Structure 1
């Protein structure tokens, strides 16, 4: 069992490491770089444990967004340490249960969003500590009921959203919200309420907005004064709600009421209630023909003589004559006929009596043209001098005739966008001299002429986006001297005539994106008188194939925003030197999706004031950024270099970005990042290196340490960054211990020790010579004694000899060797493999054990022995003990003559034969075989017993001693031991 003290120390170390690791990089969240330590988003992380998401966030967090995660449970005290938290969003998760004390200690929380989850119930004390909560959203959950006092602990709540649940009991809801004295907005739409009865408790003066749309209300069932404090009441889409439901109910305090898609008869409703007619929205109330509209007008006039607005949307109205609204009270402000089926405005003739209105909207109808409204052509023409806002959006208008708006001379806002206008008469806008905003976008216009906007001398915003315009003719905008915004994006403009932009002296924003421009004509921009601030040239066909020193922006010294993204179809290809010359005030530059193969080293030299630069996917393959390419961008605060193919992040390229705050390097190909380059960015706070193939090698040891312990820089999702070489491992904790073996350190220590020895040795020799000499001899004597004892112990082996032989020679071993060494009075104990090897044990283990547990190894050498792999292993082991351990353990016995060529492959055996005496079994060719064999056994016994080298005297040698044999001769220089 581990030592508890050690365990505690390990835990302490781990916790300390975690504290360091989580200093400024977060496992599942991203900090808003604009609000350090304040706002965090934890979106789509695939994490089901709420603690794993928030545990490493700083306790100073002001706002936390946790959305689109598989979280199903919020445990107790999940956020208790975030004492400064004011905004918490937990929407679009899978939350089904929330523990009773989940939000404990969130005293400063002001808004809580729990929408789009699967919450079934709210525990009684869930909101107990949320005394400062003002906004609570429980939209789109599965609540069926509310606890009576569930909101009693949130007295400051002013907005409560309970729409899209399964609530059925309004009385219970009213009782639960009754303690909320500051509640202003209550949203109960999309529930299953059938009545508002027993709701006397819902009488707070603060409640002004009540949404009850899309329920199953069949009656109100409330007291007379129930709505006396409500200003906005939405009862729409309660399909069975009848008119009689309002009998006896005071509606006089309402300022707006929606009754669309109900069973309420609107005329009866007006006649039987004390409603202020000006607050009623008559949209989708079944007023589909002129007869019903006239009835409505008479009912309205019976109540008032004037009204500010009339809303008749979603009624299916197809036609209105001049008498349709004649009986209505005089309308002074606005008429809205959107979402009907009108096909003609008839120059607003149906509003003859209401010519003082200021706003008219007829969006989402079926108009196909706007006719001429010139007075001299029509005697019944009415002029609307007070009309300022006119909208015909989302219709089917194909053409606009001349003088189409001559009866509305004081228009300031005209919306004709999202139609199919292909023909705009040159004089269609004649007379609109006070017009300030004109929307003609999303139509089919092909041509603009020099008199199209002749009268729009006060126009400030002109939107012509997404038409079919291909050429801008001379003087088209000549009179638009006050125009500040011109949007020509999404057309087919291929060129401007020389005076195409003449007259635009106040223009500050020009959008030319999505056209067919092939070049940037600097001669056009002199018309702006150096006031242009934003220029959008995205998705054109601008391309450079050769270097050029001409800058198209020399006349735009005040330009602050330039977009050149996504030039079609090949991108800019080349970014010339001095391309941005003259843009001294540029603050934002967009160059994404351009497939640039070369960026000149001085391309950005004139952009000293640049603060934002995005280069996402701007280059082809691996980006070869030249050293010093960003050298003048000392004011740059945000650089997005995503998917550029950057291979090396170096100080030479990025080192001058001293004001850089945000750096996005994700989806590049660099395998390492130079820490020195990062440390040269003193103001860096946000670094994104996701999806870069960083390797977990010693090359990145410094980078790992920097990302973990730098207290200033947030590395986005650092703990999800995998190792490129091992995807299962993470970059932040790969093992770096091997990287700290410092060869220089070891060399220093070794050198220091040697020098110390050379320094100390002479001193010791002089001072301690006789003492050291005496100690040496004492140690030598002691060591010799110990060595002698050790050798004696080693000699006490289990076997006297291990017999190594081939199975084909087994007969000789059993009939000759065994009887002569173990029998006949001999006391030897032999180890034979078939008899003494341990059953079930590996053969190699048995051989090693036999060799090392025997005093001698006797190799019975024959032709078959030399061909055996096991015999070869046995002689190798024995010769190892002979030569490497200096133990005299090997005896060679040759049963037959063997050629030296065959022995030469066994170099250790030949080495033994050269240094040691060996025995050969005397064959039948000897003069006296019996006597020779007796001598052979005596000599072998003596060799095994003594443990020494076989030595013979001169007179004991074989009579037929032969000299060194040749390669072709056999070994017959054997030694027959004779008496």
Structure 2
């Protein structure tokens, strides 16, 4: 494909995406930064780089394209991204890069092409990258660098070509010889056999050269070829002999690695002009005898040495001091990865008392015995000691008696099961102590007696179960305490006393079943970070006091992953008092419900994650986030959220990032999103948004807003997986206002034009037709009346479920029993199963001669009762049929009924019955009168001829016609068999 054709294809793709102007990208995510616009395009199953970057803006400065299926980079692929400064293309499947692939990237500073399958590169592939300072070609299949490939990279400082198959060092040297700003060249893991070259020389600026893990058998370079190199790594060239350095100028070397070569260091020092203090003797095959020989030679050359690196040798000290033959060591001594089995209280350093740091990692040490009574050498200059990665089982009392000035002690990653009560005695200047990843079970109140200056204490991943009283009482300067990964079940009442300066406390991965109140009492004004993840904290009710009430400076709190059931309930008072909290983690907690005032005190919160924290479908209560006005990032992934409303999210005025992945919302209201004025990032991946009209506004919003980035909008699919959400058809959802106005106007004009004409021409014909139709209608109406006289029931009983006791105990026996022959229609008994409730009600009203409404305050609050009385009143007023009987079970004020139009109208026209209460003079006689009045009313004819007359007044008599009206609700319950 020619460059013109490639450019045209990119333009076509760009044009396609420009049809949609919303702030979203098909295969990339933008991460905001004050230094520029950063785009990550990671794990995309796309093999066309133009498709990945086609919709990115010209202002992009940082671009990462990793873990994709991209195979090649055509010409002008980044033509639209001329502002790029950092470009990562690592971990892809790149095999081909066009010679004009990076054309116009004049501002690019960093280019990473590592971990691909490049075997060839064009000599002009980097021709436009004049400002490039960093280039990585690590882990490819390059065998040869074409001449002049780096000719344009005049500002290049770092060049990494490690892990390839390069074998021609001469070509490499020639290609970099003109790079006057190059400082670092990495050629490790290649196939170089020598450093032979033609007339090319390395640039004077080059000071760091790595040629480790090649196949060097000689250097083969001119004596002055390496005269400007300061750091030179030749390690893991197993065939490189000592003679290779004969005559080579190494006088400027500050650090030389010869690990795993065939170089004999004593012989090497005799033939080389290198300063012996700058040689790293790690992995040079030294044993005790060779070390002694080396030390004697070093002492003849220099009086003192700053650092002596002796790691990865075969050194195993005995009682005899070998290091006494070495020059004075005034810096660090590295004896890691040797065969040391005993320290013998550092007696091998009796002539090296000025050592400042000592490293004995990865040895065979099994214990650190006491040194107070054994007369060990006094190391008053020693400040840093590391015994990591050994097999130390016990540390006895006064084990460090001979090194009283140490500030950093690393005993982690051993198997220490016993730590003597006075093991750390005398270490009054100790600042950092690492005891993590051991087998400690107990800490005592005198363990840290002498460590008053300790600031960092790491006890992670041991087997401590209880923190006893006074354990930390002397650690008043401690700022960081890590107790994570233990088996702590509780703290003794004063177990944390003394930690008056503690800022960070890590208790994650323990067995705490509650948040200790001592935490709040001890750390009132100091603690900023508290990690309680992975414990067994659980609440079964919300009535607790806040354990954080006095922790006014706490800024970071982690409560996620409580085992095995999660928090279950998040008490509404749990987070009270955390006015300074900035980050809160509640991940994976199976919380059933969040109370509206749970987060009320978190007014300074910036970050909140609730992902996977709740059970099933969650209904976030309005106001739950009302006080989080400083929140900038909210993660509510996989919570079963069904709806986003302004009432829930409306107060998040500073929110910039909202992650809603894996929820069950079928629609999102745009008005809720518009109440987030600072929103920049919205992630709704794996949300089953319906491609229907109710989401048409959301679709339009995602397409037109230029402020909120909707992550991977163009990859969001409708639930049927057949179309994309961003372009599903919404034409049917849009009302054509012009068309509607046209039809309305045309109709009005037609009526005003033709109505007078019809009146003049067809008046008598229309009038005659009207009377004919009226006669026919009256005949049909008469037949309907005759059919209704043969009704199925005598009365339909309308009542609220709370009054069912009166209907069953009083009404039913007195109207269907006791010699009465009435047939009543009841909800639970006579409604047709499987039929809509409304249809059953209509059928019941029109299949009964009467409708008896059992009036009470509960009746007034029922929506279904409202429907029933409206249907009956329709028959009363519109059909002129006496079908409605009102029975009041209790007194109801006029104020309660005055607002119900239908009830008011009925009561003004109809009399009604009042059930006699217990306050009547003679309740038995009054009830008999009540039933007689009700039976008489049920026997009256349906046709209304005149208003009913008043009845005899008593406590059971019919009441006056002006009383109540009612309010509708959904509380009536129909029991359908």
TM tier, smaller: 0.7 to 0.9
- How far residue 730 of structure 1 moved from its aligned partner, in angstroms, is 1.0
- 1:697-727 Cα offsets, whole Å, 9 max, x none, are 1111111111111100001111111111x21
Partner residue, 1:897: none
1:532 aligns with 2:527: yes
Please name the residue that 2:361 is paired with. 363
2:906 is matched with which residue? Answer: none
Q: Residue 38 and residue 365 in structure 1: after superposition, are their counterparts in 2 closer, same or farther (change >3 A)?
A: same
Q: Is the 8 A contact 2:542 2:573 kept in 1?
A: no
Structure 1 CA distance for aligned equivalents of residues 504 and 201 of structure 2? 52
Q: Among residues 515, 522, 530, which one is paired with 1:520 in the alignment?
A: 515
Aligned with 1:664 (options 643, 659, 662) = 659
Distance 2:222 2:519 in 1: 71
Q: Is 1:593 the equivalent of 2:588? A: yes
Match among 550, 556, 562 for residue 561 of structure 1? 556
Shift of 1:756: 2.2
Assess, with a 3 A threshold, how the Cα gap between structure 1 residues 111 and 723 changes in structure 2: closer, same or farther.
same
2: distance between equivalents of 1:729 and 1:328?
A: 77
In the alignment, what sits opposite 1:641? 636
Residue of structure 2 equivalent to 1:730: 724
1:543 maps to 538
1:309 and 2:307 matched = yes
Q: Equivalents in 1 of 2:598, 2:210: separation in Å?
A: 58
Give the CA deviation at 1:752: 2.5
- 2:791 match: none
Question: C-alpha displacement at 1:764, in angstroms?
Answer: 9.3
CA contact under 8 A between 1:170 and 1:199: conserved in structure 2?
Answer: no
Cα distance in 1 for residues equivalent to 2:487 and 2:576: 28
Q: How far has the Cα of 1:201 moved from its partner?
A: 2.0
Aligned to 1:755: 748
How far has the Cα of 1:364 moved from its partner?
0.8
Shift, 1:341, TM fit: 1.9
Measured after TM superposition, the shift of residue 525 of structure 1 is 2.5
Could you tell me whether the CA contact under 8 Å between 2:429 and 2:451 is conserved in 1?
yes
Distance 1:752 1:402, change over 3 A: same
CA distance in structure 1 between the partners assigned to 2:654 and 2:176 by the alignment = 52
1:433 corresponds to 2:428: yes
Partner in structure 2 of residue 651 of structure 1: 646
Give the TM-score taking structure 2 as reference length: 0.75
Distance 1:151 1:467 in 2: 54
Output the CA distance in 2 between the equivalents of 1:734 and 1:747: 25
In the other structure, the counterpart of 2:102 is 103
Partner of 1:720: 715
**2:21 and 2:422 mapped to 1: Cα distance?**
67
Bigger Cα Rg: 1
Q: 1:14 deviation in Å?
A: 10
Report the secondary structure of 1:52's partner residue.
Answer: helix
Pair 537,158 (structure 1): closer, same or farther in 2 beyond 3 Å: same
Q: Distance in 2 between matches of 1:170 and 1:676?
A: 65
State whether residues 548 and 577 of structure 2, in contact with CA within 8 Å, keep that contact through their aligned partners in structure 1: yes
- Per-residue CA shift, 1:410-434, capped at 9, x if unaligned? 1111110111110000100001111
**Cα separation, 2, equivalents of 1:493 and 1:190:** 47
User: CA separation in 2, counterparts of 1:644 and 1:67?
Assistant: 30
Determine helix, strand or coil for the equivalent of 1:347.
Answer: helix
Query: Equivalent residue for 1:338?
Result: 336
Alignment CA distance shift 1:577-1:170 (3 Å): same
Q: Distance in 2 between matches of 1:12 and 1:232?
A: 48
Asked whether 1:27 is paired with 2:23, we answer no
Deviation, 1:446, is 0.5
Question: Which residue of 2 is the match for residue 631 of structure 1?
Answer: 626
Please report the TM-score for the alignment, with normalisation by the length of structure 1.
0.75
Q: Are the counterparts in 2 of residues 33 and 662 from structure 1 also a CA contact under 8 Å?
A: no
- Name the residue aligned to 2:771: none
Using the TM superposition, give the Cα deviation of residue 531 of structure 1 relative to its aligned residue in structure 2, in angstroms: 1.0
Counterparts in 2 of 1:441 and 1:545: CA distance versus 1, 3 Å: same
After TM superposition, give the deviation of residue 751 of structure 1 in Å.
3.0
Quick check: 1:413–1:437 contact (8 Å CA) kept in 2?
Answer: yes
Residues 572-616 of structure 1, C-alpha deviation per residue, up to 9 Å, x if partnerless?
000111221100101100000000011111101111111100001
**Other-structure match for 1:378:** 374
Change (3 A) 1:755 1:568: same
Distance 1:712 1:364 in 2: 55
Residues 1:250 and 1:216: Cα distance change in structure 2 (over 3 Å): same
The Cα shift of 1:650 comes to 1.4
Aligned equivalent of 1:157: 156
Residue 326 (structure 1) aligned with residue 321 (structure 2): no
Paired with 2:11 and 2:128, the residues of 1 have a C-alpha distance of 32
Matches within 5 A, 1:600-619: 600-619=595-614
Alignment match, 2:266: 267
- 2: distance between equivalents of 1:735 and 1:13? 23
Q: Secondary structure at the match of 1:47?
A: coil
SS in 1 for 2:325: coil
1:50 to 2:49 alignment? yes
Further displaced range: 34-43 or 564-573: 34-43
Deviation at residue 753 of structure 1 after TM alignment = 2.0
> Any gaps of 5 or more consecutive residues in structure 2?
1-9, 762-977
- Tell me the secondary structure at the aligned position of residue 385 of structure 1: coil
How far 1:378 sits from its partner (Å)? Answer: 2.0
The 5 A counterparts of 1:462-861 are: 462-724=457-719, 726-741=720-735, 748-761=741-754
* Unmatched runs of 5 consecutive residues or more in structure 1: 1-10, 771-979
Q: Note closer, same or farther for the CA distance 1:262–1:172 as it changes in structure 2 (3 Å cut).
A: same
Q: CA deviation at 1:382?
A: 1.1
